[in-house]
């Protein structure tokens, strides 16, 4: 049996080009493409098994996803860092802009991208516009009718923080009953308004950005709380609707989840021993960084 070493790979990808993160037969997914290119580039007999920090739905982007994968020690030379960098630059070239390895390092054998993670952080962008949005805006934000009451939205975001049963805001797993709690711990959630300095929208509409961090998230949780808070910001729901739904666990008559395209995974937290957090808390060099 060939000796292997465990690699941590930090990834960024355009979610609009994938049908989700996890491997699915006959579908182009993040894990599927990563396994295929790794096997081809490193000339492996079998595609390697890839474990991610969390699954993103179809259309959801990532700037700081983290995976681990065990690769043969003979495939990437740690004694020649330039060789390792060349391997990952070659990988990125084959992804053609859909996916990019932004950071790579060898980690301890028992590192687990999912179980070792301390937190995950997402951001959601909402384009608050009075004018019709161009179609391309749908690829990076959710255009909604403004203006939005940001104070009310932040009051609602504060109510999400702490340990709660998020059944009203999550899609129930097929093996769970409606009575099974879906408990999650949200450590921070806040909205900020940014000017459209790059003029990506008609009339430079303000961009409302939600940043939310939790130990973990359940399926469609961020998109569901986002659509509810936007309805609060538009005056269609009261702030205390959040409290009522967390207590009742009922989803009926709440807005549909916000579109996937406005959502992005922007950070995953790890101990320093495991390379520290991914995302904006890391100084990322222009080229792939190999930490040995």
Would residue 165 show up in a list of annotated catalytic residues for this protein?
no
96 exposed, middle or buried (CB, 10 Å; 0-12, 13-18, 19+)? exposed
Q: How many residues does the chain have?
A: 292
Backbone angles phi, psi at 104, to 5 degrees: -145, 140
CB 153 within 8 A of CB 85: no
72-81 contacts: CB < 8 A, separation 24 or more? Answer: 72/2, 72/3, 72/4, 72/42, 72/44, 73/2, 73/3, 73/4, 73/5, 74/2, 74/3, 75/42, 75/43, 75/44, 76/7, 76/42, 78/5, 78/106, 78/292, 81/290, 81/292
Using the structure block, give the residue that is written with the tokens 């259309």. 59
CA dist 182 and 179 (Å) reads 9
Q: Of 45, 57, 165, 271, which residue is the catalytic one?
A: 57
**Residues with a known catalytic role:** 57
């Amino acid at each position: 049996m060939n000796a292997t070493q465990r690699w941590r790979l930090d990834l960024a990808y355009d979610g609009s080009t994938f049908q989700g993160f996890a491997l699915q037969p006959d579908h182009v997914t993040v894990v599927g493409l990563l396994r295929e290119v790794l096997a081809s580039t490193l000339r492996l007999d079998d595609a390697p098994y890839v474990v991610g920090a969390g699954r993103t739905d179809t259309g959801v982007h990532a700037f700081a996803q983290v995976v681990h994968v065990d690769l043969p020690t003979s495939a990437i030379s740690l004694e020649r860092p330039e060789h390792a960098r060349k391997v990952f630059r070659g990988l990125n070239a084959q992804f053609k802009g859909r996916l990019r390895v932004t950071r790579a390092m060898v980690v301890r054998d028992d590192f687990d991208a999912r179980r070792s993670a301390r937190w995950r952080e997402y951001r959601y962008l909402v384009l608050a516009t009075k004018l019709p949005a161009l179609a391309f805006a749908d690829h990076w934000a959710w255009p909604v009718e403004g203006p939005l009451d940001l104070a009310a939205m932040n009051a609602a975001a504060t109510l999400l923080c702490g340990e709660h049963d998020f059944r009203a805001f999550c899609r129930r797993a097929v093996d769970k009953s409606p009575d099974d709690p879906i408990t999650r711990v949200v450590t921070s959630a806040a909205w900020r308004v940014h000017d459209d300095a790059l003029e990506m929208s008609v009339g430079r509409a303000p961009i409302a950005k939600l940043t939310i961090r939790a130990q973990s998230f359940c399926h469609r949780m961020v998109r569901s709380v986002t659509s509810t808070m936007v309805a609060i910001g538009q005056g269609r729901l009261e702030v205390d609707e959040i409290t009522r739904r967390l207590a009742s666990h009922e989803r009926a008559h709440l807005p549909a989840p916000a579109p996937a395209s406005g959502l992005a995974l922007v950070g995953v937290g790890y101990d320093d021993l495991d390379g520290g957090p991914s995302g904006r808390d890391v100084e990322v060099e222009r080229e792939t960084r190999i930490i040995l």
